[in-house]
Structure 1
Amino acid sequence: AAPAAMGGASLEARKLLAANLTRVLSLYSFLTDAYIIEFFTDNLWGSLPPSWQAALADLSSPQLAALLLEHSGSAEASYSSVWPLSLLAFKATAHSLAFPRRPSGHAQPSGGRRPEEFQENPCQSCKLHPVFRKHVKPKKQHEIQKLGQVVKQLSDITGCRCIVDVGSGQGHLSRYLAFGLHLSVTAIEGDPRLVREATRFDRELIETLKKKQAEQPQVDSPAPPRAPAGGQQLLLTGLHACGDLSVALLRQFVRCPRVVGITSVACCYMKLTTKEYGYPLSAWVAGLPGHQLSYKAREGACHALEDYVLRLRLDSPTLRGHGFRAVLETVIRAAEPAKKRLGVQTIAKAHTLSFEEYARLGLARLGMSPDVPLDTAPLEAMLAQQQRVVAFFSLALLLAPLVETLILVDRMIYLQEQGREFPEAPCLNDPHELHDFFLERLQGGDVGLREGFLHRRVLRAVWVGMERETNGKESREDFNKSENITCF
């Protein structure tokens, strides 16, 4: 059965899930560890069982989406041949072991329809006030609004209004929490460049709010800002806490009773250290045979399967990209065998080019001669196998949610090993960022937070806030009662 209720599952249930995941991922590591650019150089198609090759070779992209990657059937979900039981079992197992990737009760979006908040303007979320959309891409607008609401709910449940935003980056989430949701926020960021950007954006927002205040002279001037008092309870949050940073949040939560709640949206699993700190985190998973996850497997877990499914459904011409790059790899190695898996800078609209045009541009980006001779016949034979490249990549992508599930369940088990319990759920429900999960946890305590956790910065801010507009009107009452942002 699908682990839909893992948030309330027992430790034994999570241990069983982890054991099943490691067995499956070990069995199919030839898929999760494969680099699609080596499809031809390493004969990746030949690594599949012959019966799988026969079943998948002639499927169109929409059929791959319907028959392999999607749970529910569609018009294309009609088997043109009898699939081998091993392939059917592979598909069923992959779907059943992965955590659900949508909030409970959320309907599957149709086609390429935009989320409701972007229906009016594809670049501006109607759920965010314009001041919080400035400098923020649509994907991030969706994320900060969603996570912000979760943090606010956690604040209401715990009665704690002091938020620590770890890995705050350019401060978009912190500004929304402080000025949009009226919470006291401490933002921690270790990259000086991002701190400077955040400070600049903070000042822009403050100037905007000062102008608002000047236009409303009846608004009382608030008291000077205050930093959280010593011994005060805290909530931790992290949006896209990269690599080991998400693990650091969990460790801090376990070690610091003063932290009464945590929400964490992890990312960049490939940046986790795998020897002692990032993965595995729990003693249980560390003791399971085959628990190791390669860099490539963890990198694959960061991909949004739903985005690729949409491209398959639409039979997007951009699907040619993997095939082009795999063929180019054969050209590179034929010219200079020592060069393998080189990163080729993105070639704009590559799918609109002929392979020869693509190859010349790609070679030039690698500092190689674009005049390398191209043997047309074998190249055309490889290009004709485009759908096999797509099919193989689809198989690997089907396992990506299992890798993410194993990383997340490892963290759950770790917290339970440390005497903690918490719910887990998909937080972001949008084609922009469907693969993200948040881990949410409540506890009590009043012991001080350890100093020097990360680089700190201080921002002096005005105590004015902004309630998002409703029907074009601002709430003066909420404007009056808004609180400060204190950033470290």
Structure 2
Amino acid sequence: MYSQEETLRSTIDKSLKVIRLYDWLLNLYVLDFFVDNHWTKLPLSWQECFQNITPQDLGNILSEVPTKHVLPLSFISLIKAVKSLSLPRDKISNKNKIGLLLSEDICNGHPRLKNLFLKHVKLKKRHEICLMSKVVSGVAVESKCDAVVDFGSGLGHLVRVLAYNNNLYAAGIECQSQLTEEARSVQLVHAYRAALERILVDYDPKLKHAPVRNIKHSDTMTFQQYSTQALSRLNIPLPACFARGEADLRQWRRVVTLYTLRLALAPLVETVILLDRVLYILEHGLSCEIHPVFDPKLSPRNHIIVGKRL
């Protein structure tokens, strides 16, 4: 009979063996897709299978929807290994009901505070706050504790719910002073940027991974418009290079396919990180459990680690 720690170490070791076999895929950087010809780094059988596949078909395959495509055995083995070794994401529905999300009183009878608590809180965040507060409150009651500290509390949504709804003394600690400003999203896992990178490197190898302007992409934006705006701060003659970029962009499906295959390994990488944290807690004499608390459709990173001092 293996102990909990031995079982964790064994799972981590097996997962790392799979991950190390596919280091070459995990270490690819979308910016260099055309520069380093990433498509040729895939096994030949994968190239032949996926060269004309649609993103929807690939998504169905990774979701284990039956397919008519003849898949390489090495790819099938990888997907099965990732599934068998990764932590399950199915939520424990008998303990937490999503139906309470919109109707539950989260301010303990303070009707004037309800709108304040829900203001700027999207459904995903509301879902997480509701269930997280139940977990924290349950652990506090079991531990006979009436005070909690939320490290990385952000705007303090969870702290307020714990205080008003769960009657806990709650304090939040947040080191980032700019959380009241809207975060800017930078999307460079994009075919336009990868095509632009080849133009830059062809013009001057020293410009590899050079910073360009962050451009908000739209469906109507052409590659020429994107490039002109992105490189407005650099003195580079681009018109003669646009044809090369347009040719690369005809392979946009390969960009999507390769990085979708790369993301298929993400659950296994996340599992190793989570299990390593659980193992760390166990090694320090605390009991520890890990549960998929949130709805994975709303919160894909839906596991919570609960450690208790014995």
Q: Aligning the two structures, in what range does the TM-score lie when normalised by the shorter sequence? A: 0.7 to 0.9
Indicate whether 1:171 and 2:162 are aligned. Answer: no
* Equivalent-residue separation in structure 1 for 2:236 and 2:92 (angstroms): 52
Q: Distance in 2 between matches of 1:376 and 1:344?
A: 17
Q: Gaps (5+ residues) in structure 1?
A: 1-7, 107-114, 119-124, 198-317, 445-488
Partner of 1:368: 234
CA apart distance, 1:174: 0.9
Q: 1:201-216 counterparts in 2 under 5 A?
A: none
The separation in 2 between residues aligned to 1:430 and 1:89, in whole angstroms, is: 24
Structure 2 residue ranges without an equivalent (≥5) = 107-113, 181-186
2:233 maps to 1:356:
no
Query: Does the alignment pair 1:417 with 2:283?
Result: yes
**Structure 2 contact 140–146 (Cα < 8 Å) conserved:** yes
Give the 5 Å matches for 1:191-202.
191=176
Equivalent residue number for residue 290 of structure 1? none
Counterpart CA distance in 2 for 1:331 and 1:52 is 27
Write the distance in 2 (CA, Å) between the matches of 1:193 and 1:84.
48
SS at match of 2:215: coil
Cα gap change, 1:23/1:141 in structure 2, threshold over 3 Å: closer, same or farther?
same
* 1:59–1:329 Cα change, 3 Å: same
CA separation in 1, counterparts of 2:176 and 2:253? 43
Q: In 2, Cα distance between the equivalents of 1:60 and 1:116?
A: 35
Give the deviation of 1:55 after TM superposition: 0.7
Q: 1:324 corresponds to which residue? A: 192
Matches within 5 A, 1:333-348: 333-342=201-210, 344=212, 346-348=214-216
1:374 deviates by: 4.1
Q: Answer yes or no: is 1:43 the counterpart of 2:23.
A: no
Paired position in structure 2 for 1:62? 56
Whole-angstrom distance in 2 between the partners of 1:27 and 1:322: 26
**1:93 aligned onto 2:81:** yes
The alpha-carbon distance between structure 1 residues 386 and 117, as it changes in their structure 2 partners (threshold 3 A), is farther
1:64-213 alignment runs, 5 A limit: 64-67=58-61, 69-71=62-64, 73=65, 77-80=66-69, 82-104=70-92, 125-127=102-104, 128=106, 129-191=114-176
- Secondary structure of 1:152 counterpart: helix
CA contact (8 A) 1:321 1:351 kept: no
- State the TM-score, normalized to the length of structure 1: 0.55
Q: CA deviation at 1:33?
A: 1.1
Tell me how far apart the structure 2 counterparts of residues 9 and 103 of structure 1 sit (CA, whole Å).
Answer: 25
CA contact (8 A) 2:200 2:207 kept: yes
SS across alignment from 1:351: coil
Tell me the TM-score normalised to structure 2 length: 0.84
CA distance in 1, matches of 2:302, 2:92: 15
- Encode CA deviations 1:230-251: one digit per residue, 9 max, x unaligned: xxxxxxxxxxxxxxxxxxxxxx
Could you tell me which amino acid in structure 1 is paired with residue 31 of structure 2? I
Mapped contact 2:30–2:189 kept (Cα < 8 A): no
Paired residues of 2:163 and 2:170 also in contact (CA < 8 A): yes
Determine the C-alpha separation between the residues in 1 that align with 2:81 and 2:191. Answer: 28
The residue correspondences of 1:428-439 to structure 2 (distance < 5 A) are 428-429=294-295, 431-439=297-305
Tell me the residue number matched to 1:443.
Answer: 309
Could you tell me how far 1:154 is from its partner in structure 2? 1.7
Provide closer, same or farther for how the CA distance between residues 377 and 168 of structure 1 changes in structure 2, counting only shifts above 3 A: closer
Contact 1:361–1:370 (CA<8 Å) still a contact in 2? no
- Report the equivalent of 2:111: none
1:9–1:100 CA distance, 2 compared to 1 (3 A) = farther
Partner amino acid, structure 1, of 2:155:
Q
The corresponding residue for 1:25 is: 19
Partner of 1:273: none
Offset of 1:147 from its aligned partner? 0.9
Report the CA distance between 1:349 and its aligned residue. 3.6
Asked whether the 8 Å contact 1:38–1:44 carries over to 2, the reply is: yes
Residue pair 1:321, 1:350 contacting (<8 A) in 2 also: no
Q: Tell me, what secondary structure is at the counterpart of 2:205?
A: coil
Over the aligned positions, Cα root-mean-square deviation in angstroms equals 2.7
Q: Are positions 1:392 and 2:233 aligned together?
A: no
* Conserved? CA contact 1:332–1:363, under 8 Å: no
Say how many residue pairs are matched: 292
Query: Structure 1 residues 193 and 360, CA, compared in 2 at 3 Å: closer, same or farther?
Result: closer
- The answer to whether the 8 Å contact 2:224/2:242 transfers is no
Distance 1:321 1:166 in 2: 30
Structure 2 CA distance for partners of 1:442 and 1:53, relative to 1, 3 Å: same
Q: What letter is aligned with 1:361?
A: Q
Which letter does structure 2 place at the counterpart of 1:40? F
1:381-402 Cα deviation digits (max 9, x unpaired): 3111111111100111011111
Partner of 1:350, secondary structure, is coil
Contact 2:91/2:292 (8 A) holds in 1? yes
CA distance in 2 between partners of 1:142 and 1:130 (Å)? 16
Please list, as runs of the form range in 1=range in 2, the aligned pairs for 1:244-255 lying within 5 A after superposition. Answer: none
Residue 58 to residue 20, structure 1, CA distance change in 2 (3 Å): same
Question: Aligned equivalents of 2:244 and 2:100: distance in 1?
Answer: 49
Q: CA deviation at 1:359?
A: 1.5
In 1, Cα distance between equivalents of 2:99 and 2:211: 37
Greater shift in the superposed pair: 93-102 or 129-138? 129-138
Q: 1:430 to 1:83 in 2, by over 3 A?
A: closer
CA contact (8 A) 2:213 2:229 kept: no
Q: What is the distance in 1 between the residues matched to 2:12 and 2:158?
A: 32
